[in-house]
Amino acid sequence: MKLTMLYKDSNSGGQGCPSVYLADSGEMVVQGVQLDADAMGELANLLPGETAIRIDPEIIMGAVRRYQANR
């Protein structure tokens, strides 16, 4: 899978997250801080191999704007 970064939190410095990528499959990949065990327990229908992360809504909105601009 090849990933192209769409948007990164400008406050995170040169490293780390949160970030949103576009995969060559057309799917989006989100990088962020994994939820703690208590929050993970609140997720519905979490399947093996799945996880959840925290991300500021502005990062997602910025990625969507960039995605739409590049279509």
Could you tell me the two tokens for 46?
Answer: 């979490």
pLDDT tens digits along 5-33: 999 887 776 666 789 999 999 999 999 98
Q: Which domain holds residue 62?
A: 3-69
Whole-model pTM? 0.81
- Angle, vertex CA 4, rays to CA 16 and CA 61, nearest 5: 70
What is the predicted pLDDT for the residue at 48? 94
Strand runs (DSSP E) across 1-71, as ranges? 3-8, 19-23, 28-31, 33-34, 53-54
What is the predicted pLDDT for the residue at 66? 92
pLDDT tens digits along 43-67: 999 999 999 999 989 999 999 999 9
What is the tally of structural domains in the chain? 1
